[in-house]
């Protein structure tokens, strides 16, 4: 009996060996990393090589093929499952029951087994079956098929195993027509980046648009080349700035109208954008057009982080003039020449909830720092909307940006809650606080010579009265007092009262010849002992009125003598 194998089997096995040799190219060697390399090391190696062999930059012969190898190797090693399969089986797809040696194993050849003990087997090893090139010293191979019929038996179905090896289907009892893939199978081309957030129109509106956080966004279509390269750069930048920005990708095949509406549809290549707050309080997409490397992109992202914190000179900063009604204030004190990244991030997240400042100071011996009671830098000082000061944190240490943003966010959230409680208490007190009306019978008690400064809110309409009473009620709750000249000065140095200007025109004529008739509402700061006054007819907001009164008490406003002694009817 002729035991020689038919020629078609020998040719098929030869082709099979060539394919296996091609598939056993070691991705670790291609990227130049050890088998125990971390994902960070693999990513760095890929970035370096992909830039070196990128077809747009490297026109040398073989660069394009090398670039493809680098991308294929990274495709395997960057995916946890594919890498695990390769390490176990020598094939990123994995194949339980197959044992594929690595390059260099078994004398440089690959050894496959199908099944296990008692199962059908297909083996080829060096030294047993002579290769057909006829050169001296060439390696040889042997193979055997084992089944229930004993050695040499083919009753296990050779067509099936070869169909599985080559991805083909039997047609008319053969399997040659299926080399390269099953008939009718769909491409497994990766359809979207795997490690950054997938963004659609709903997610964009809810989580990105005007939310105060900077986003790094990739717009792509699955058919474009180098999606993976773009994604890896974005992943590295997002990782290095974790906590300062977030990263996302938009598939413009599935979000066609959304991409066109935003003006971000990719054409020949994917596109990279930063959702920036540099131009205004409302965010906008700014396209990155620089070199696609992590260092350049990171620098671009840092430039586009929010800048809602106001940089101030602490030694000349007047806190009373910066009061914003209802919003608490916080200030970062540090030795940095520019606003620190972490404070810029927080300024975006809290821009509608706080008024944020930051100031460069020399050290804790700075008189302005001492005046605030800060004993270590960096430090955060806060003011409730009622003017009450709190030292929130001193000696701030930052291990990493992400955890620091988290910790300081909790700190600001807690301070915001405290401000709301204080605001509720203040509103309740203000509603109970009644600003008395100045009349002939109440004049001595409210604006007599025993009162250093009397603040008179004069009105000519009911609406003006409501406004003045509301503002003076708010301001009267604050701890405003004049600078003490001696230890005998009274802290209770100011009183508040209202005046009906339509009924007390003669009283106002004592201050102004025209009786301020052109003003619907005004404030008069009157010093009864010296018979001097200062008037204010500007905007009657809480912050402006507080600023005027503080300036009066601190001697920053020039007083005039009255025309005559004010007399009430």
Is the pLDDT at 78 greater than 90? The verdict is no
pLDDT in the model for residue 317 = 77
Residue ending a domain, among 125, 146, 178, is 178
Alpha carbon distance 247, 25 (integer Å): 33
Only one residue has tokens 């090391």, namely 41
- Mean pLDDT (the chain, rounded): 77
Is residue 437, in this structure, part of any structural domain at all?
no
Only one residue has tokens 């204010």, namely 536
Eight-class DSSP state of 351:
T
* Residues 235, 148 share a domain: no
Is residue 360, in this structure, part of any structural domain at all?
yes
* Residues 391, 318 share a domain: yes
Mean pLDDT, residues 231-242 = 92
Express each pLDDT in 35-60 by its tens digit: 999 888 888 888 888 888 887 778 88
Residues ≥6 apart with Cβ < 8 Å to 15:
179
Alpha carbon distance 21, 16 (integer Å): 9
Is residue 186, in this structure, part of any structural domain at all?
no
Alpha carbon distance 194, 162 (integer Å): 33
pLDDT in the model for residue 380 = 97
Mean pLDDT, residues 402-406 = 91
> pLDDT tier at 80 (50, 70, 90 boundaries)?
confident
* Residues 458, 406 share a domain: no
Range of 285's domain?
197-303
Q: What percent of the chain has pLDDT over 90?
A: 46
* Residues 315, 290 share a domain: no
108-122, 164-178, 291-305, 477-491: segment of lowest average pLDDT: 164-178
Neighbours of 349 (CB within 10 A): 18
pLDDT in the model for residue 433 = 61
Mean pLDDT, residues 81-93 = 80
pLDDT in the model for residue 81 = 85
Is residue 161, in this structure, part of any structural domain at all?
yes
* Residues 378, 355 share a domain: yes
pLDDT in the model for residue 134 = 38
Is residue 230, in this structure, part of any structural domain at all?
yes
* Reduced 3-state DSSP string for 80-121: HHHHHHHHHHCCCCCCCCCCCCCCCHHHHCCCCCCCCCCCCE
Is residue 325, in this structure, part of any structural domain at all?
yes
Mean pLDDT, residues 248-252 = 96
Alpha carbon distance 357, 344 (integer Å): 10
Residue ending a domain, among 286, 303, 320, is 303
Q: Which of 514, 512, 516, 506 is nearest to 537 (CA)?
A: 516
Is the pLDDT at 174 greater than 80? The verdict is no
Q: What percent of the chain has pLDDT over 70?
A: 72
pLDDT in the model for residue 346 = 96
28-32, 147-151, 262-266: segment of lowest average pLDDT: 147-151
Answer yes or no: are the C-beta atoms of 516 and 501 closer than 8 Å.
yes
Eight-class DSSP state of 138:
-
137-151, 204-218, 472-486, 549-563: segment of lowest average pLDDT: 137-151
319 or 37, which is more confident: 37
186-195, 221-230, 348-357: segment of lowest average pLDDT: 186-195
Express each pLDDT in 259-276 by its tens digit: 999 999 998 899 999 999
Positive or negative torsion for Cα 401, 226, 251, 41 = negative
Answer yes or no: are the C-beta atoms of 282 and 343 closer than 8 Å.
no
* Residues 202, 111 share a domain: no
Instruction: State pTM to two decimals.
Output: 0.48
pLDDT in the model for residue 97 = 38
Q: Which of 446, 470, 455, 434 is nearest to 526 (CA)?
A: 455
Neighbours of 403 (CB within 10 A): 12
381 sits in which H/E element = strand 379-383
Alpha carbon distance 174, 62 (integer Å): 37
CATH at residue 26: 1.10.287.110
> pLDDT tier at 19 (50, 70, 90 boundaries)?
very low
* Residues 84, 154 share a domain: yes
Alpha carbon distance 281, 145 (integer Å): 74
Q: At CA 374, angle to CA 320 and CA 550, rounded to 5? A: 15
* Residues 319, 299 share a domain: no
Is residue 129, in this structure, part of any structural domain at all?
yes
Mean pLDDT, residues 331-351 = 95
Is the pLDDT at 310 greater than 60? The verdict is yes
* Residues 241, 92 share a domain: no
> pLDDT tier at 553 (50, 70, 90 boundaries)?
confident
Residue ending a domain, among 270, 303, 336, is 303
* Residues 344, 258 share a domain: no
12-21, 434-443, 514-523: segment of lowest average pLDDT: 12-21
CATH at residue 419: 3.40.30.10
Express each pLDDT in 464-504 by its tens digit: 999 999 999 888 877 654 443 333 333 447 899 999 999 98
Q: Which of 559, 543, 548 is nearest to 522 (CA)?
A: 548
Neighbours of 9 (CB within 10 A): 15
Q: Does residue 340 have a cis bond before it (omega within 30 degrees)?
A: no
Alpha carbon distance 248, 213 (integer Å): 13
pLDDT in the model for residue 144 = 36
* Residues 55, 173 share a domain: yes
Q: Determine whether 487 is exposed, middle or buried from the number of CB atoms within 10 Å of its CB (0-12, 13-18, 19+).
A: exposed
For residue 458, list its beta bridge partners.
Answer: 499, 522
* Residues 204, 105 share a domain: no
Is residue 1, in this structure, part of any structural domain at all?
no
Q: At CA 296, angle to CA 293 and CA 300, rounded to 5? A: 130
> Domain total for the chain?
4
> pLDDT tier at 185 (50, 70, 90 boundaries)?
very low
């Amino acid at each position: 009996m002729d035991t020689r194998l038919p020629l078609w089997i020998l040719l098929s096995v030869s082709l099979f060996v060539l394919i296996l040799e091609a598939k056993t190219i070691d991705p670790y060697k291609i990227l130049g990393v050890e088998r125990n390399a971390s994902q960070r090391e693999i990513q760095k190696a890929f970035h370096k090589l992909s830039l070196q062999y990128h077809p747009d930059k490297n026109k040398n012969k073989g660069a394009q093929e090398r670039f493809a190898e680098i991308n294929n190797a990274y495709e395997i090693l960057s995916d946890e499952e594919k890498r695990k399969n390769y390490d176990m089986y020598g094939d990123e797809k994995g194949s339980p029951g197959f044992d594929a040696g690595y390059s260099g194993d078994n004398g440089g050849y690959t050894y496959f087994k199908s099944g296990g003990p008692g199962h059908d087997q297909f083996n080829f090893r060096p030294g047993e079956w002579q290769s057909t090139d006829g050169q001296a010293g060439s390696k040889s191979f042997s193979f055997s098929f084992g089944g229930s019929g004993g050695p040499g038996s083919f009753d296990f179905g050779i067509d099936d195993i070869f169909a599985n090896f080559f991805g083909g289907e039997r047609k008319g009892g053969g399997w040659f027509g299926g080399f390269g893939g099953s008939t009718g199978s769909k491409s497994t081309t990766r359809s979207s980046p795997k490690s950054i957030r997938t963004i659609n129109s709903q997610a964009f509106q809810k989580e990105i648009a005007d939310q105060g956080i900077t986003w790094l966004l990739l717009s792509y279509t699955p058919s474009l080349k180098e999606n993976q390269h773009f994604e890896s750069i974005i992943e590295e930048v997002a990782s290095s700035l974790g906590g300062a920005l977030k990263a996302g990708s938009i598939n413009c095949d599935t979000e066609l109208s959304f991409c066109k509406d935003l003006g971000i549809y990719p054409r020949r290549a994917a596109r990279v954008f930063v959702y920036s707050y540099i131009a205004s309080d409302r965010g906008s997409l700014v396209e990155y057009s620089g070199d696609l490397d992590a260092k350049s992109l990171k620098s671009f992202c840092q430039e586009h982080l929010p800048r809602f914190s106001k940089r101030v000179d602490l030694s000349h900063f007047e806190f009373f003039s910066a009061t914003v009604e209802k919003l608490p204030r916080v200030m970062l004190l540090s030795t940095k020449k520019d606003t620190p990244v972490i404070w810029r991030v927080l300024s975006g997240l809290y821009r509608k909830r706080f008024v944020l400042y930051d100031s460069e100071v020399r050290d804790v011996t700075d008189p302005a720092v001492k005046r605030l009671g800060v004993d270590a830098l960096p430090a955060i000082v806060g003011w409730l909307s009622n003017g009450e000061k709190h030292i929130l944190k001193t000696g701030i240490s930052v291990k990493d940006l992400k955890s620091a943003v988290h910790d300081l966010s909790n700190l600001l959230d807690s301070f915001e809650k405290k401000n709301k409680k204080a605001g509720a208490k203040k509103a309740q007190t203000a509603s109970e606080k009644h600003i008395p009306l100045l009349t002939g019978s109440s004049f001595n008690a409210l604006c007599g010579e025993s009162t250093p400064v009397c603040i008179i809110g004069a009105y000519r309409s009911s609406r003006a009265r409501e406004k003045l009473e509301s503002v003076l009620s708010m301001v009267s709750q604050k701890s405003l007092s004049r600078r003490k000249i001696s230890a005998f000065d009274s802290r209770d140095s100011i009183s508040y009262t209202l005046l009906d200007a339509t009924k007390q025109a003669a009283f106002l004529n004592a201050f102004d010849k025209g009786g301020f008739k052109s003003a619907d509402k005004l404030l008069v700061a009157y010093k009864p002992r010296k018979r001097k006054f200062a008037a204010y007819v500007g905007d009657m907001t809480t912050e402006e009125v507080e600023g005027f009164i503080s300036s009066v008490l601190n001697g920053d406003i020039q007083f005039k003598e009255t025309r005559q002694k004010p007399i009430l009817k």
